[in-house]
Structure 1
Amino acid sequence: MTDRKSGRNTDGTFTAGNPGKPKGTRHKATRAALALLDGEAEALTRKAVELALDGDGAALRLCLERIAPPRRDAPVTFDLPLMQSADDAAKAAGAVLDAVASGDLTPQEGAHIMALVETFRRTLETTELEARVAALEEGAA
C-alpha cells in the first residue's frame, strides 16, 4: 500500500521509480550556508575567540566545547572476577551489582557492564552447545 502524498509504501520505503534523495545529498539551505561561510572559517574562529576572551559566555562555551568536547564514555575500574564459564559470568554479575550498591559504579555504568557480561555468557553458552552437538553427531556417526 502506498501513501499518495509522500510516495512511500506503508513500511517507509519509496515506491519503485521514486528512489528518493541520494545518500549524502545536502539540503539546499545547507549548501547555501556553506557557500557563504566558504573561506571565512579562520576569521569566524578568530572572532569567536576574541568574543570569548572579552567575556561573551556563549562564545566562551562554543570555544571550550571545541577544545574539550564532553566525554561520552569514560573507563571504569572495579574488581571483576575472571570469566571462563557461565558460572563465572553469574559471579561477575554479582560483582557488578555489589559495585553499584556500594557506589563504585553508577547504575548506568553497571547496566552497560551487565550487558557485556550477558553477551559473554551467551557466547560461552553457544560455544558449549556447538561442542555438545558436534560430540553427539560424532557419536551417532
Structure 2
Amino acid sequence: MTEVNFLGRLAHPNIIRLLGYCKDDPFHSLVYKYMPNKSFDCFLFSGHLSTKCDIYALGMVLLETITGQKAMDLLRRVGKKKLPKWAARIGSNKRNRKKKMDPRLEGMYPQESASKCSELASRCIANNPKHRPSGEEVMVCLEQIYALD
C-alpha cells in the first residue's frame, strides 16, 4: 500500500501517472493515466514507444482475433495466462493451428489465410523488436492474405 501511495504522488514527464488501484480479490489492478494511441506494454518494458510497439500491438490483436482469447486471462491455467506464450506457437502446423483457432470461426476462412495470418501475428510479437516486420511489410502481407479469400 505504501508503494501505491508513493507512485500516486510521483510526477515526472517520463513516468505514467498512477491514478489509483482496485483490490477486488482475487484480482488486483493498478489504474494508470490513459495514453492515447500508445501501447502501455511497450512503454512499460522498453521505456519508449516506437512503430515496432505498434506492430507488437497489431500482432496481439491478430492473435486475439485468431484464437478468440484475451491477451491476458488470469483464469487460464498456469503457463497459459498470457496469450503470446502459447498462441505464438500456432505457426503453420495445420493440426496445431486447428486446435488453437477460435472454434466460432470454423469453416469461415481459407486454411492458407489462417496459416499466413498466424505466421504474421507470430512475427509481429517477436521478443526482439528488430525481428518484427515493418509497417510496410505488414501491409503487403495483409493484402496478400486478403487476396487469398
TM-score w.r.t. the length of structure 1 is: 0.23
TM-score w.r.t. the length of structure 2 is: 0.23
Q: Which has the higher contact order (CA 8 A, sep 6+)?
A: 2
Comparing both structures, which one devotes a greater share of its residues to helix?
1
Larger Rg: 1
